[in-house]
Amino acid sequence: MISVPLRSRKRRRGLVAQKFQHVIPAFPLLFAGIETFRREPHGLPLVLAVFEIGTSVLLLGSVVREVRSLRKADAHAGHSSHGVDWFHIFAAGVLLAEAAEHWHETHHWKRPTLVTAAFTFLLGIFHGRILAWGEDRRSLKIDDDGISVGRPPLGTFRAKWNEVDAIEVGERFAVIRTRAGAERRIDLSDCEQPAPVRAALAEAQARVVPKA
């Protein structure tokens, strides 16, 4: 079976844009840590200042890497990585530092912030599995029985070879049509790696059963 993930450029930009919301608390936290350092702290205040500055700088640095990855060639796109997402790990650190700073000032923990930090940390740890799960449900798949695009619950297009009327591959779009009138369009210009998609569709074209 041939399976090619349909990685969307637009979707990736949207995911990166969503990450920017985690950057907002990093700036005041960074300035707070620097201000604490100016007072020559000792003990717990010093530890908090180092943690605040460290997590903020790491998060801001990961943002720069995310933006740079958007400009790289498709072969080096960030979606191809199925490992730990360090952006979310550092974002969780910033949230934890924010909660610790609040505790130091008020002696009360911000439970919503702690819960968000834990959830963000888990997103970073299980990033690879979540990404693989999502890509499997947005893949173009070709086997001996037929061709399919996507999987439930995100919606799917499935047709056996004797049901496929034509597969047309153009400069921008690829269209799969069935003899019953169903159609699935793939925006090749939005694919991060269009070459494997085109190659898989060429293989599919060779399997289409001619009309009797």
Instruction: Write out the residue range of the structural domain in which residue 178 sits.
Output: 140-207
Q: Do 96 and 172 share a domain, yes or no?
A: no
Q: What is the pLDDT of residues 93-121, one digit of tens each?
A: 999 999 998 898 898 999 999 999 999 99
Q: Is the peptide bond before 153 cis (omega within 30 degrees of 0)?
A: yes
Q: Do 6 and 39 share a domain, yes or no?
A: yes
Q: Is residue 128 part of a domain?
A: yes
Closest CA to 25 of 95, 113, 111, 92: 95
Q: Is residue 190 part of a domain?
A: yes
Last residue of a domain, one of 135, 169, 197: 135
pLDDT of residue 10: 84
Last residue of a domain, one of 135, 169, 185: 135
Q: What is the pLDDT of residues 148-207, one digit of tens each?
A: 998 655 568 899 999 999 999 999 999 999 999 999 999 999 888 899 999 999 999 999
Last residue of a domain, one of 135, 151, 184: 135
β pairing state of 2-5 and 139-142: antiparallel
Closest CA to 147 of 210, 194, 207: 207
Supply 27's token pair: 């700036």
Number of domains in the chain: 2
Q: Which residue has the higher pLDDT, 161 or 42?
A: 161
CATH number at residue 175: 2.30.29
pLDDT of residue 188: 92
Q: Do 53 and 158 share a domain, yes or no?
A: no
pLDDT of residue 70: 67
**Residue 137 pLDDT greater than 50, yes or no:** yes
Q: Do 75 and 170 share a domain, yes or no?
A: no
**Residue 86 pLDDT greater than 70, yes or no:** yes
